[in-house]
A and B are shown apart, each in its own frame.
Chain A
Amino acid sequence: MKLQLRWPHTLASRLALIFFTGLVMAYGLSFSFQFYERYVSSRSMMLGNLELDVSTSVAILDRLPAAERAAWLPRLERRNYRYRLDTGKPGRPLNLADAPMAAQSIDKAIGNQYQLDYQSIPGPRPHFQVHLRLADGNPLTVDVTPASVPLSTWLPVVLLIQLALLLLCTWLAVKTAIGPLTRLAHAVDSLDPNAPGPELDESGPREVRYAAVAFNSLQSRITAYLKERMQLLAAISHDLQTPITRMKLRVEVMDASTEKDKLWSDLEAMEHLVREGVAYARSIDGSTEASCRVQLDAFLDSLVLDYQDSGQQVALGATTGAVIDTRPHALRRVLVNLIDNALKFAGAAQLEVQHGANHSTVIRVLDNGPGIPADELDEVLKPFYRVEGSRNRNTGGTGLGLAIAQQLTQAIGGTLTLSNREGGGLCAQIELRRVSP
């Protein structure tokens, strides 16, 4: 199996990885060097002691009468080495070049006075023995068990505590660096020009403060632009309405002629465009309408009856008896636009309601018309977009109806999706999320 090293996905983990690896490596290096230096110095001190001690002890034993030597042995014994007055255990001869440092130190201390014979003794605790003959010809064996340089037990604990401290500092540093960025990303993500959110906190380090100030001014600029656009549209439409009214009134008193009919239909088209333009601008501006509890069945039924009363083929299919929290005027406008669209292209529309996932409510407006080419399903929700071939007077419209429906559906917390039905026709689906009261 191949081990794959993957660069972590979040900035926080990347930064943490860099910081932590760097700090641990730097710290590890300095710790190892210090430790090595300490090891070397304490070893040379220990060996120096060994040299001195062994030469002294051997000298004492050599001077002592043979009978008294045994009594002195415990007094000369040390933690790592002891003296024996026999020839010792047999072992393998030890080459001085490969021998432990302690052997070399002993060689340095007494090698020039005595003939030394090194024997390595294998076993569970390997050690070596140095054999020599004292001046009176009696044997003496130095039994050495090489030991590592003693390490204090608290050292690993300290090392662990320091590692934990490094980890904590890394976490704090990353959190400090990432926190403002995350907040900014959230703020940008939830940036809603219709309902300006709370301003970002303009405090903290200079860079963070600067970003927050920039974001806040961006937010207020967007709001101002939108407001300006609304005012512009409203002003244009209002100023157009008076001349259109005058023209309509004038045309009405004209004698009947084809010119009069043409003028009239042009005026109607202008009026429609002005109205839809304002409605679209308003739908972006967000609704000021309050939300209330609505019996959905009665709501749809009355809408359908209004269509039927004016001779349109609109029917209500399956219902759910749901009571939903919504903005009734906005929802009505969405449905009216979708039904009008269906009537325009198919001549008839059907409504149905279903329960959706997560307690949402799904309202569908279905028709048996030509549908919309699959690659244009998203495009038709954009303002002023018209499906190719519908740009004639009869079916063209303003290209705003679906855009308004889309905007308003979003404003009431729903999603609008268009799809082509199997067997032809369009399905416009509004999914309304359940609003917790």
Chain B
Amino acid sequence: MDHVDHVLIVDDDREIRELVGNYLKKNGLRTTIVADGRQMRAFLESNVVDLIVLDIMMPGDDGLLLCRELRAGKHKATPVLMLTARNDETDRIIGLEMGADDYLTKPFSARELLARINAVLRRTRMLPPNLTISESSRLIAFGQWRLDTTARHLLDAEGTLVALSGAEYRLLRVFLDHPQRVLSREQLLNLTQGREADIFDRSIDLLVSRLRQRLLDDAREPAYIKTVRSEGYVFSLPVQLVESPS
């Protein structure tokens, strides 16, 4: 029998969690719904799930705290998708810092949630990342650059911010998650297809050359992203997590 992905939904609003649960069930996922952190802990005590949808704003233990707790325990590899009520950068940044894999702002549509769940599952399943970004290490260093994984921009040697477009960030993140490993165009396309999968129609090659320009990488003698003939691309430099002082 095929594996059916099991999603745990933690939300204090009964109607929302039931509506979401039913929708996901209808679309071929196995769902369990719980109302708060206490029930979540009780369920995870004896069960393993493939993904957790976690509301940030909850009475009692809030989502941020629960996410941090998950990342520290035996479920640290389980992907987490956060639901936030505030369309606010700080909430998103904190959520990602606490180890969430993605976030979605309320009010959201069930279809959007399903697409995100599938994207996160595909990403983590296809090629589990070598790096685990944590609260204290949100910066990834390579060569003369550092990538801020929460604010999603590059910092050069002098600390000047170099912005990345969404597609560029996702591609760079895939490379940095799997350094010194050859990735095929198909793999790259799959891994970079996030929430904008339907509108992402540029070829990987164009995106790679854009990213090389951004990294000031010479296309003829690239130092960061090398072309492997008839196979794909490889990120050739070692990658390091930077522990922030706090």
Contact surface of A with B, Cβ cutoff 8 Å: 234, 238, 241-242, 244-246, 248-250, 252-253, 267, 271, 275, 278-279, 282, 288-289, 292-295, 298-299, 301-303, 305-306, 309-311, 323, 328-329
Q: Take A278-B86, A309-B202 as given contacts and tell me if A302 and B107 are in contact as well, using a CB distance cutoff of 8 Å.
A: no
Q: Which residues of A contact B13 (CB under 8 A)?
A: 242, 245-246
| Residue B87 at the chain A interface, CB threshold 8 Å | yes
Distance between B29 CB and nearest chain A CB, rounded to angstroms: 15
Contact, CB under 8 Å: A293 / B160:
yes
Q: What 1/0 flags go to B112-154 for Cβ under 8 Å of A?
A: 0000000000000000000000000000000000000001010
Interface residue SS majority, chain A: helix
Contact, CB under 8 Å: B85 / A238:
yes
Q: Which residues of A contact B158 (CB under 8 A)?
A: 293
Additional 18 contacts, C-beta under 8 A, given A245-B16, A271-B107: A242-B16, A242-B106, A244-B107, A246-B19, A249-B19, A252-B109, A278-B86, A288-B90, A295-B161, A302-B164, A303-B165, A305-B165, A305-B168, A309-B165, A309-B166, A311-B199, A323-B160, A328-B163
Q: Which 9 A-B pairs have the closest CB atoms?
A: A249-B19, A305-B165, A302-B165, A245-B107, A244-B107, A299-B163, A302-B163, A293-B160, A294-B161
Contact, CB under 8 Å: B210 / A305:
yes
Interface hub of A267, A275, A293, A302 (most chain B Cβ within 10 A): A302
Contact, CB under 8 Å: B107 / A241:
yes
| Residue B214 at the chain A interface, CB threshold 8 Å | yes
Contact, CB under 8 Å: B16 / A298:
no
Task: Find the B residue at minimum CB distance from A298.
Answer: B162
The CA-CA distance from A279 to B90 in the complex, in Å, is 13
Distance between B104 CB and nearest chain A CB, rounded to angstroms: 10
> Which of B57, B87, B163 meets A278, CB within 8 Å?
B87
| Residue B88 at the chain A interface, CB threshold 8 Å | yes
Q: Which residues of B contact A303 (CB under 8 A)?
A: 163, 165
Interface size on B, residues (CB 8 A): 41
Cβ contacts A to B, 16 pairs, < 8 Å: A238-B57, A238-B85, A242-B16, A242-B85, A249-B19, A250-B19, A293-B161, A294-B163, A295-B156, A298-B163, A302-B164, A302-B165, A305-B168, A305-B210, A306-B166, A328-B151
Distance between A353 CB and nearest chain B CB, rounded to angstroms: 14
Distance between A307 CB and nearest chain B CB, rounded to angstroms: 9
Contact, CB under 8 Å: B167 / A305:
yes
Q: Take A238-B85, A253-B23, A329-B89 as given contacts and tell me if A295 and B166 are in contact as well, using a CB distance cutoff of 8 Å.
A: no
CB contacts under 8 Å to A, within B77-113, are 85-90, 106-111
Contact, CB under 8 Å: A298 / B23:
no
The CA-CA distance from A245 to B109 in the complex, in Å, is 7
Distance between B182 CB and nearest chain A CB, rounded to angstroms: 25
| Residue B22 at the chain A interface, CB threshold 8 Å | yes
Contact, CB under 8 Å: B167 / A309:
yes
> Which of B26, B161, B164 meets A292, CB within 8 Å?
B161
Task: Find the A residue at minimum CB distance from B156.
Answer: A295
Distance between B230 CB and nearest chain A CB, rounded to angstroms: 27
Contact, CB under 8 Å: A293 / B109:
no
| Residue B73 at the chain A interface, CB threshold 8 Å | no
Distance between A182 CB and nearest chain B CB, rounded to angstroms: 40
> Which of A241, A242, A252 meets B111, CB within 8 Å?
A252
Task: Find the A residue at minimum CB distance from B22.
Answer: A253
The CA-CA distance from A253 to B90 in the complex, in Å, is 32
Task: Find the A residue at minimum CB distance from B111.
Answer: A252
The CA-CA distance from A427 to B118 in the complex, in Å, is 42
